[in-house]
Structure 1
Amino acid sequence: MFGYIRIYEPELKMKDFRRYKAYYCGLCQELKKKYGAMGQMTLTYDMTFVLIFLHSLYESPNIQEEHRCKVHPVKRQKMLLNEMTGYCADMNILMSYYHLKDDWEDDRKKKSLIGTKLLQSKKEKLSHIYERQSRVFEKELKELSALERESSADIDRTAGCFGRMMGEMLAVREDVWAETLRRMGFYLGKFIYIMDAYEDLKEDQRAGRYNPLKQLSEKEDYEERMRDILCMMMGECSAEFEKLPCLLDIDILRNILYDGVWNRYRSIQEKEKETDRREDEKNNDEKSI
């Protein structure tokens, strides 16, 4: 995953921010314990959301620990762990492996190849433990690779592949909540994929790389369409979320789903405005000369 599903700190109460940080540090500690320093390097904000969300839904009891780490070597950090922490650490490794593999196949980045080699044995072990999730991951990534080779402009199909992966990951158990979790994850995954394509579009165009938004970006109302598509994805995701009996940490979860997911979008818009402003200033200076 790509770091889009995170808190909007200015609107989060301090007690909730500390609690969010404790979940984040707890997941980092679990990755260290199970997978070492390499595991810690794969930690994402997206998976922290998944951890808090699944903990809220299934109401598994938290265990509080305190540890020092390389980032905070002096003061012990509070960490919250529960039965979902191990699952999310495992999913973080699986998703990171596939993300690195995709980067290697697309861009031939050496660090991505090294990453896949380092995670290969862990991925194989986890594939046996989580056969259902791994089977869906493999199937959808194969379909996504085929669409990318075809230079498909069908954003619904390409994003749908990642959406089904995310949905299967959220469906931690085959229970009464599974289908709602799959639908919620489907739209959340599509949002992540589309946001990633939206953010990378200009760089991909300069490098001549595939991006499913290239054709759509040629439309005059491209920005308006993108805003509508992204809002639709998060609207559907949030509608499914509200069907679930989540009470624990609800303010953190709603902060993320209704505000935090737009952090990067706002940042992209601000950069675009700044670029346009500089371009206008440059043109005005040339005219005055």
Structure 2
Amino acid sequence: MFGYVMINKGDLKVRELETYQSFYCGLCQKLKERYGLSGQLTLSYDLTFVVMLLTGLYEPKVKKGTTHCVIHPLKKQPIQVDVFSDYAADMSILLNYYKCMDDWADEQKIDRRLFAELLKRKFGGLEASYSEKAEKVKELLDKLSAGEAENSSDLDYMAGIFGEIMAEILAWREDEWKENLRRMGFFLGKFIYLCDAYEDLEEDLTEGRYNPLTKLSEGKDFEENCRGILTMMAAECSREFEKLPIIEYTGILRNILYSGIWVRYEKARKKRTEEKSDTNKKKMIRKRRSL
């Protein structure tokens, strides 16, 4: 369910792209340092966004450097890391471990159980360090699983659960910005959940799996209604973002919130439109042949 909070690469300036890449590589390096190769496998655009958002807001000291990596073994890559790189790495492990265990409990996916075991070896005192967040995230994932098991068609309720998870991640500490960050995370999480459901809809319907958009998809104006809901979630998220006193990285952050989060949705919608068009053409051909 991750990978939606990404940049729209074509709309970024070269320097902005380099800055984003340095934070992305920095998070990858922190995951490696703290959790090894298994930790690196949890790297995501979504947590990179968290690093840059919180760095822009709280302005901690950022350490710049270079490092080798598996993808670029010959040329050192520039990295930028700070306290939020550590935080995002921890949250990445926490989220992925609980999600893997959740998938194992729900669908008995052996690969998810094995990956969870790999992460657990590195887990250490993570639950203790973030006891309240860990307990809340686990509780919310359990609620999400329960809703899926009941085949809930309450879209707002189901998306809201994942929204609460993202709210927990963005609200780094108790301060004057906590509520803004929580609301921002809440609506961003709802957007992510619904985008994921939209992208998987056809496959889920074919395989008979749960999808919160199933009931809505049976309606006449599904595409318009779905886009309308997503637009509302994105707008609320962006509204909270604009209230934050962020100066650094605003070009990159706005690129993500106003454009990047729509990339996978637009790709999925284009594919669905093309497939629907092809299906209609085939129906017309068969109809003509039957005359």
**TM-score, normalised by the number of residues in structure 2:** 0.95
1:129-148 equivalences under 5 Å are 129-148=129-148
**Secondary structure of 2:78 counterpart:** strand
The answer to whether structure 1 residue 258 and structure 2 residue 258 are counterparts is: yes
Give the gaps of 5 or more residues in structure 1. Answer: none
Q: Partner of 2:69 in structure 1?
A: 69
Q: Aligned with 2:80: secondary structure?
A: strand
Q: Is the 8 A contact 2:144 2:158 kept in 1?
A: yes
Per the alignment, residue 2 of structure 1 pairs with 2
Whichever residue aligns with residue 153 of structure 1, its letter is S
The one-letter amino acid paired with 1:274 is E
- For 1:162, the aligned partner's letter is F
Q: Give 2:101's aligned amino acid.
A: K
Indicate whether 1:34 and 2:26 are aligned: no
Shift of 1:286: 4.2
Q: Residue 79 of structure 1 aligns to a residue in which SS?
A: strand
Aligned partners of 2:13 and 2:249: how far apart in 1?
Answer: 12
State the alpha-carbon separation in 2 of the partners of residues 273 and 145 from structure 1.
31
Q: For 1:37 and 1:219, how far apart are their aligned partners in 2? A: 45
User: Aligned pair 1:110/2:110, yes or no?
Assistant: yes
Give the distance between the partners of 2:254 and 2:260, measured in 1 at CA.
9
2:266 and 2:43 map into 1 onto residues whose CA distance is 23
Q: Distance in 1 between matches of 2:198 and 2:128?
A: 35
- 1:137-160 per-position Cα deviation (integer Å, ceiling 9, x unaligned): 022122222212211100111111
Does the C-alpha gap of structure 1 residues 124 and 161 become closer, same or farther in structure 2, counting only changes over 3 Å? farther
- Report if aligned partners of 2:106, 2:145 keep a CA contact under 8 Å in 1: no
* Aligned match of 1:245: 245
- Name the structure 2 match of 1:150: 150
Structure 2 runs not aligned, ≥5 long: none
SS at match of 1:215: helix
Q: 1:113 offset after TM fit, Å?
A: 1.2
Distance in structure 1 (CA, Å) of the matches to 2:104 and 2:285 = 44
Question: What TM-score, normalized to structure 1?
Answer: 0.96
Q: For 1:271 and 1:6, how far apart are their aligned partners in 2?
A: 20
**Offset of residue 228 of structure 1:** 0.7
- Determine the C-alpha separation between the residues in 2 that align with 1:100 and 1:2: 13
Cα distance in 2 between the residues matched to 1:121 and 1:159 = 31
**CA-atom RMSD in angstroms:** 1.5
1:43-122 matches, within 5 Å, as 43-122=43-122
In the other structure, the counterpart of 1:178 is 178
- The structural deviation recorded for 1:276 is 2.7
Q: 224-233 vs 265-274, which deviates more? A: 265-274
Displacement, 1:194? Answer: 1.0
Structure 2 counterpart of 1:224: 224
Instruction: Note the C-alpha offset of 1:219.
Output: 0.7
Contact map agreement 2:12 2:255 (CA 8 A) in 1: yes
Q: State the distance in 1 between where 2:272 and 2:145 align.
A: 30
Cα distance in structure 2, aligned partners of 1:105 and 1:214: 23
